[in-house]
Structure 1
């Protein structure tokens, strides 16, 4: 089911306004996705130019959040939407907050990459960054696709993937702590990797939130604090 067929109204202008917030959400999601992917590359490849691009892009993501939020407020004030339209507007306002925070986390990773350019590369942790980064990038892409298609099954898979990310993150952190205990000289540099892994784990949490908004949008059920099996 494509989100563009969610609801149609007699008022063509109302249809345009609803289509616009969907389109602008997708554009913001694409920008956040690029930030995450570029931040991972910047850290793993020590690409300072790309890291600086990620940091600069955060201002664009922030301004997109403000703009879309204003659009949603105007729809609420002028149209007084009900039922599925109201759920759409609410879901979009929540989703843009998570996307803005994803941008913040990507910027944190990029700043770690910049810091490490002067401190030196860490002796451990890049394999974990690449692996967990790949998982959360896929989660984000799938959650955005699920939102665009109103795909419940894809959204549920994203929520399930968050469990995997949490397990992988916990394992990676334990291994890195052990490594630092064995080689105290590495502590500063490995800590940079650990902070980056923490940012990736948080990005996974926000991607999971996006998927849960899809379930709310389609079913009208808030599943944020519901056991996944239920």
Structure 2
């Protein structure tokens, strides 16, 4: 049986309803913070804004605290309520999504540090177009994954998974171009490597957004869609 928007809020105990809703809302609050962190990290890199890069790094402590607090909430719900079926799926999906959000925060902090390094060492001669394009895509993926979680929307979740495949292709293409450029101009290696590491972090952010989307499908459908093709995932989503 699929889980709809209100299925997990119909319990004898209003307090149980409130606990489940609170955990979900705290996840979305953390997601909003992480989404801004991603956008600011990309902006810091493109604009060579060292101060913004530093602020992105410092936000990571807040993200880490929120991860711990929400994990504790999920643990308390399991211990006190011993939830079953769809309620247990919600708690597990929330805990997994929180872990992915924390890792998105980590990757954003890395990009913030790299932005500061590029300010000190001089801008790289290549890679900013790719940073902007892939950065916009993974920031949007993060936003859509959170929207899918908030609305229990499997179609939006599936779109995020599809987008991740496109990001992977763009990332691989950008890597080939940047490696070729460094071979042609060895003097650029140090600065271009900072762009390469930034692109790697953006690609990982896309992976974590996809993980959140896959958790939405698990939450709604009760089906684990990790490690399967997009076509197979679509069949799982459409299977009633």
TM-score for both structures, normalised by structure 2: 0.94
1:165 corresponds, among 164, 167, 176, to: 167
Q: Deviations over 1:189-226 (max 9, x none)?
A: 00000000000000000000000000000000000022
SS of match in other structure, 2:230: coil
Match of 2:157 in 1: 155
Is contact 1:2–1:148 with CA below 8 Å preserved after alignment? no
Q: Residue 5 of structure 1: CA displacement?
A: 5.3
1:135 corresponds, among 130, 134, 137, to: 137
Q: Deviations over 1:38-87 (max 9, x none)?
A: 00000000111111111010000000000000000000000000010000
Residues 18-167 of structure 1 aligned to structure 2 (within 5 Å): 18-167=20-169
Is contact 1:32–1:102 with CA below 8 Å preserved after alignment? yes
Matched, 1:196 2:198: yes
Q: Residue 4 of structure 1: CA displacement?
A: 5.2
Closer, same or farther: CA 204–133 of 1 in aligned 2, 3 Å? same
TM-score for both structures, normalised by structure 1: 0.98
When the two chains are superposed, the root-mean-square deviation of aligned CA atoms in Å is 1.1
SS of match in other structure, 2:95: helix
Give structure 1 stretches of 5+ with no counterpart.
none
Give structure 2 stretches of 5+ with no counterpart.
233-240
Is contact 2:4–2:220 with CA below 8 Å preserved after alignment? no
Q: Distance in 2 between matches of 1:86 and 1:136?
A: 29
Runs of 4 or more, structure 1, over 6 Å off, are none
Is contact 2:121–2:191 with CA below 8 Å preserved after alignment? yes
Q: Deviations over 1:83-137 (max 9, x none)?
A: 1000000000100000000000000000000111110000000000000000101
Match of 2:207 in 1: 205
Is contact 2:26–2:70 with CA below 8 Å preserved after alignment? yes
